Amino acid sequence: MKTGTIAARKPGRLIERLARSVRKSGHDIQSVCRLTGIEAGQIRFLETEFGQYFSPDGGCARLTTFDDYQVELIQRLHQGLFVEGRTVSDIHLELQKKTGAGRAPVHIIAVTSGKGGVGKTTLSINLAIAMKRGGNRVLLVDGDMGMGNVHILTRLTPKHTIADVLQGRTAIDEAVTQGPGDIHILCGGSGVSGLADMKAAVIAQLGQRLRLLGDQFDVVVIDTGAGVSSQVLEFIKMADDLVLVTTPDVAAMLDGYGVLKVARESGIACPAHVLINQVDKPEESDMVYERIRACSERYLGDQPHFLGSLKRDRSLHHANRERQPIALVKPRAAAVKHFDRLAKILHPKTNGKSADKTRGTL
Ligand SMILES: Nc1ncnc2c1ncn2[C@@H]1O[C@H](COP(=O)(O)OP(=O)(O)O)[C@@H](O)[C@H]1O
Ligand SMILES: [Mg+2]
């Protein structure tokens, strides 16, 4: 079925009739139900979900009367959501584009890998802090289902975790905790039962909710688990950019390529960026990237972008052991500058300057 646009259509006949009949005071909800054939519960639902488009001040209070623009909006939203089966976030994005309402959609970056222990969590935390330092409002999500340790490396004891959000016990807003460096964190949990086999569809719903956080955050960084489980793929699916972390280790590299392959085969088309971590010799990172690039080009018809490499760095490891982000304990460390640079490449609005999309080695 051809999907219509929500805000751009010309008023239909019904609306013309409504416009003729509308009194200055507008229609109460019963008359809107009668005129449109839409149930009151659905109208209230649409009002709650899309409150900012109903009243100029963006308020979400229940309306007692509806003018003809609002009745038209109810019809269009009802058509999109309940007849065409589009998602709430999809419709929000379209309305934001058309009306300029709300802020720019949130930029979601997923950090992933084939093998564990390569540095995803280290990169995710430090990238989130660098983006915050660069003027963005940042949410870090621990998406390593059942094995999450962002809270450990940031010294947090969260009241709520991603499990509470996914299992519908807590709203995202309530579960998010203030973390070091002024970032916000949706913590995961280690050994939380049920998380490891959380259904992909439930994670996809979280993705839709994260997309709607544009008025609270500019960037969401997701630390996914390792490998190609359906949970990891679901987190990657939400992302606008995918960062694949590997070490020069052959097995880590091959598994990293495996993630990229499965992601592409699953129809995930977002730009992919490769970071080689824990590098001892700079020349090895070029070789590792070249192997991933060549395989991707040959078998996937696609070349991931090279984000460069990060040296094996004792001060970074030490900061992790102290459970403190390096930017807070050693702000002048070379690694901190490197994370700042990566932040600008991945989210060019960082610091308000556009970044040069080149690679770099620390
Ligand atoms: N560039 C680096 N230099 C030194 N140690 C690192 C570096 N990156 C990560 N590490 C260390 O490697 C280990 C695994 O890192 P972590 O971020 O937890 O990986 P993952 O999230 O992929 O499992 C940690 O002990 C961490 O301190
Ligand atoms: Mg980790």
Q: What is the 3-state secondary structure (H, E, C) of the chain?
A: CCCCCCCCCCCCHHHHHHHHHCCCCCEEHHHHHHHHCCCHHHHHHHHHHCHHHHCCCCCCCCCCEECHHHHHHHHHHHHHHHHCCCCHHHHHHHHHHHHCCCCCCCEEEEEEECCCCCCHHHHHHHHHHHHHHCCCCEEEEEECCCECCHHHHCCCCCCCCHHHHHCCCCCHHHHCEECHHHCEEECCCECCCCCCCCCHHHHHHHHHHHHHHHHCCCEEEEEEEECCCHHHHHHHHHCCEEEEEECCCHHHHHHHHHHHHHHHHCCCCCCEEEEEEEECCHHHHHHHHHHHHHHHHHHHCCCCEEEEEEECCHHHHHHHHCCCCHHHHCCCCHHHHHHHHHHHHHCCCHHHCCCCCCCEEC
Q: How far is CA 73 from the centre of its chain?
A: 27
Is residue 297 over pLDDT 90?
yes
Output the CA 297–ligand 1 centroid distance in Å. Answer: 29
Q: Give the pLDDT confidence score for residue 312 in this predicted structure.
A: 96
- Verify whether ligand 1 is closer than 6 Å to residue 116 (CB atom): yes
Instruction: Name the residue at shortest CA distance from atom 15 of ligand 1.
Output: 119
* Residue 22 and residue 73 in one domain: yes
State the residue range of the domain holding 316.
107-352
Output the CA 360–ligand 2 centroid distance in Å. Answer: 23
* Residue 83 and residue 160 in one domain: no
Q: Give the domain-ending residue among 67, 99, 131.
A: 99
- Verify whether ligand 1 is closer than 6 Å to residue 320 (CB atom): yes
Would residue 3 count as lying in a domain? no
Residue linked to tokens 């609306």: 15
Q: Give the domain-ending residue among 51, 81, 99.
A: 99
Atom of ligand 1 nearest to the CA of 123: 17
Output the CA 267–ligand 2 centroid distance in Å. Answer: 25
Q: Give the domain-ending residue among 71, 99, 127.
A: 99
Is residue 353 over pLDDT 60?
no
Output the CA 58–ligand 1 centroid distance in Å. Answer: 44
Q: Give the pLDDT confidence score for residue 88 in this predicted structure.
A: 85
State the average pLDDT for the chain. 85
CA distances from 346 to 167, 309, 311 (A): 31, 14, 19
* Residue 291 and residue 166 in one domain: yes
* Residue 113 and residue 239 in one domain: yes
- Verify whether ligand 1 is closer than 6 Å to residue 322 (CB atom): no
* Residue 91 and residue 231 in one domain: no
Output the CA 261–ligand 1 centroid distance in Å. Answer: 24
* Residue 263 and residue 294 in one domain: yes
Angle at alpha carbon of residue 165, lines to 162 and 171, rounded to 5°: 125
* Residue 301 and residue 153 in one domain: yes
Give strand pairing partners of 226.
113
- Look at the chain and report how many structural domains it folds into: 2
Judged by average pLDDT, the poorest of 50-59, 120-129, 259-268 is 50-59
Which band of pLDDT confidence, cut at 50, 70 and 90, is reported for residue 98? low
Q: Which ligand is nearest to the CA of 115?
A: 1
Predicted confidence (pLDDT) per residue in 114-134, tens digit: 999 999 999 999 999 999 999
Instruction: Name the residue at shortest CA distance from atom 9 of ligand 1.
Output: 119
Q: Give the pLDDT confidence score for residue 157 in this predicted structure.
A: 94
Q: Which ligand is nearest to the CA of 362?
A: 1
Is residue 197 over pLDDT 90?
no
Would residue 165 count as lying in a domain? yes
* Residue 201 and residue 249 in one domain: yes
pTM: 0.74
Instruction: Name the residue at shortest CA distance from atom 6 of ligand 1.
Output: 317
Output the CA 88–ligand 2 centroid distance in Å. Answer: 31
Q: Which ligand is nearest to the CA of 125?
A: 1
